[in-house]
Amino acid sequence: MANVKLIFQGTEKSETHKTELEVYCNAYEEISVVIKLNSNYPSFISLDKITAVRLVRELKKQIGFLDLKGGNTNE
């Protein structure tokens, strides 16, 4: 498996631009999601494959709601 880690940042509009969300596959072949705030103690969760797929489906559904509300998906 590739050694890849994606980092997403919050928006300036919501004033979360200093917050980071990391997503990567860990050594246990789970998906790790880490939220780094302005503190030294990040929050994290590890998801098995089935749960990660459910998360993706829910995110897609919520993004669809943004489209219905006229939200900007180009951020």
CA dist., res. 45 & res. 52, Å (int) = 11
Q: Give Cα separations from 17 to 29, 39, 49, 62 (angstroms).
A: 29, 14, 29, 21
Q: Say what the pLDDT of residue 68 is.
A: 79
Would you say residue 74 has pLDDT above 90?
Answer: no
Residue type, 50: I
Q: Is the pLDDT of residue 4 over 70?
A: yes
**CA distance linking residue 23 with residue 33, whole number of Å:** 5
Q: What is the pLDDT of residue 9?
A: 93
User: What are the boundaries of each domain within the chain?
Assistant: 5-68
Are 26 and 40 in contact by the 8 Å Cβ rule? The answer is no
**pLDDT tens-digit readout, 29-62:** 999 999 999 777 899 999 999 999 999 999 999 9
